[in-house]
Amino acid sequence: MKVCVIGSGYVGLVAGTCFAESGNDVICVDVDHQKIEGLKGGVIPIYEPGLKEMVLRNGEEGRLKFTTDLDAAVKESLVCFIAVGTPPGADGSADLQYVLSVARNIGRAMESFKIIVDKSTVPVGTADKVRAAVKEELDARGVHIEFDVVSNPEFLKEGAAIDDFMKPDRVVIGTDNVRTAEIMKELYSAFMRKSNRMLVMDIRSAEMTKYAANAMLATRITFMNQIANLCERMGADVMAVREGIGSDSRIGYDFLFPGVGYGGSCFPKDVKALVRTADECSYDFVLLKAVEEANERQKRILSDKIERRLGQGGDKPLAGMSIAVWGLSFKPRTDDMREAPSLTIINRLLELGATVQAHDPEALTEAKKHFGDRIGYHMNQYEPLKGANALVIITEWNEYRNPDFDRIKTLLVNPLVFDGRNLYQPGRMREIGYEYHPIGRNG
C-alpha cells in the first residue's frame, strides 16, 4: 500500500518505518530540511532502540523515503497519516495549528481519493475540523474529490516504540466508513496476532480513547505515588502493597511503580488537555485536576527529603553540599527530557544552594539544553559521586540496578542514597552500611 506520514517526530518516524518494515511503500514528510537530509543519510533525530537499523534497512530496500515535498507525497499515497505535534497551548489545550495546516496542505495537493488519518493525539472533535479544513481547500480549488478522515491514535511508549508498534495490544480505528475500515485493517494486518485486537469504532470514541488511556495510566501512577507517601508515614512497604493489590486480576501489576512523578511528552500534556476539554464543555473533571496537582507535589518529594536530611537552615540550606544525580531523562531508554521530574528536582536542589553532578547514559546532550553550565555532566556513572554528600536516583536505567556499592561508599562523603525509583532492597542496603531513603518503604 502507498502511505505517507506527515511529521517525522517520534510517532511519525516510528509508524512510517514500521509500515515500511511490513512491506508498504512509505514516504515520511517533514518541514525540517535538516532533519530530512539527516534521515536520508541515516541520522536518526531521536534515540530509540532498534530504530536506526530499521530505517537504514528499509531505506536501502527502497520502501522508506524521506522528503520535504508534501504535495508529491500526498499525490502518490492512498493513506496520509498526520503525525505532527500538538503541543500544549497557553491555556493547556492541545494546539491544533500544525494538524490543521497539514490538513489544508493535503486539501491543496490531493488529486484522487485519500484516507486522511489523525495519528497525532488530538482532542475529541478534531477529525471534524480536519475534514472541514480539507473540504475548504477543495472547494477553493473548485474540485470535488472524495476523502475520508480516520482517527487512529497511537499507544506506543518511548523506549519500546518499535515493539509496541509491531506488537500492539490493540489498534483503534475510528471511522464511519466501512470501506475505509477495511483498508485500515489491511494496513495493520501484518501486526495483528491472535491475541491482539483491532477495534473499529466511531471517530469521537477513538479520539477519546487515547486521552482516557493516558489519563487512566497517569491517575494509576499518581494513586500509587500517594499510597507510597502514606506507606512511608505508616511504616508499610509500598512494594509489598503493590504485589498485594496487583495480584487481583481486576487491578494487575503494571504501571503501579511509585516514583518521582510521571513525566514525558504525553501524560502531562494529555492530562492537561483533557481537563481543558472538560472545562470547555462545563464539566469539572475534579479527579484529573487533583492528579495534576498531586504529580507536581510528587516531583518535590526527593528534594524535600534531601533538605530535611541534609539541610542546615537559612536561605540556602544545602549550601556547600554536592549532590550526585543518576538519571536525567523522564524514563530509561530515551534521551527525552520533556517534563522530566529531574528538571524540578535539580532546579530545586540548586535553589537550595547545592551543587549538582549528574550522569545519564543518553540524555546529557538534551539535559545541557535545560541546565547549561549550572550542573556538572559525567559520562561515567561513578564520577559524579566523588566528594558528593549523597547519591540521588531519579531515572531507573539498568546500569544503576547492580552498581559497585563498595566503590560508591569510598567515593561519597556519607553513604547516603535517596532512591526515587526503589531500585534496591532496604534490608541489604542497611547490611552493607548505607543510609537508604526509598519511596514508600522504610529504608
Distance CA 73, CA 67 (A): 8
C-beta separation of 280 from 245 below 8 A: no
Sheet containing strand 355-359, strands side by side: 376-378, 355-359, 322-326, 390-393, 416-419, 435-437
Tell me which residues touch ligand UGA (CB under 6 A).
Answer: 121, 154-158, 214, 217, 221, 255-257, 259, 262-264, 266-267, 330-331
Report, in Å, the least distance between residue 419 CB and ligand UGA. 13
Least distance from C-beta 12 to ligand UGA, angstroms?
A: 12
CB nearer to ligand UGA: pick between 28 and 321: 28
User: Smallest distance, Å, CB 158 to ligand UGA?
Assistant: 4
Kindly list the catalytic residues. 266
For residue 258 the three cell numbers come to 511509585
CB of 146 to ligand UGA, least distance (A): 31
> Of 149, 128, 146, which Cα lies nearest the Cα of 138?
146
* In contact, 21 and 58? CB cutoff 8 Å: yes
**Minimum distance, C-beta of residue 409 to ligand UGA, in the bound complex (Å):** 28
Sheet with 197-201, strands from edge to edge, namely: 64-67, 25-29, 2-6, 79-82, 114-118, 147-151, 170-174, 197-201
Length in residues, the chain: 443
Give the nearer residue to ligand UGA in terms of CB position, either 30 or 158: 158
Alpha carbon of residue 443 to chain centroid: 30
Question: What is the number of other CB atoms lying within 10 angstroms of the CB of residue 47?
Answer: 19
Task: Output the smallest distance, CB 218 to ligand UGA, in A.
Answer: 7
* 177, HSE (Cβ side, Cα atoms, 13 Å): 14
Q: Which is nearer to ligand UGA, 344 or 381 (CB)?
A: 344
**Which of 147/267 has CB closer to ligand UGA?**
267
Of 217 and 363, which has the nearer Cβ to ligand UGA?
Answer: 217
Backbone dihedral angles phi then psi of residue 3, each to the nearest 5 degrees: -130, 140
CB nearer to ligand UGA: pick between 221 and 301: 221
φ, ψ for residue 116, nearest 5 deg = -105, 120
Report H helices in 299-434. 301-310, 341-351, 364-371, 405-411, 426-431
Q: Answer for the pair 175, 152: CB distance below 8 angstroms, yes or no.
A: no
Residue 87 cell numbers, joined: 503541543
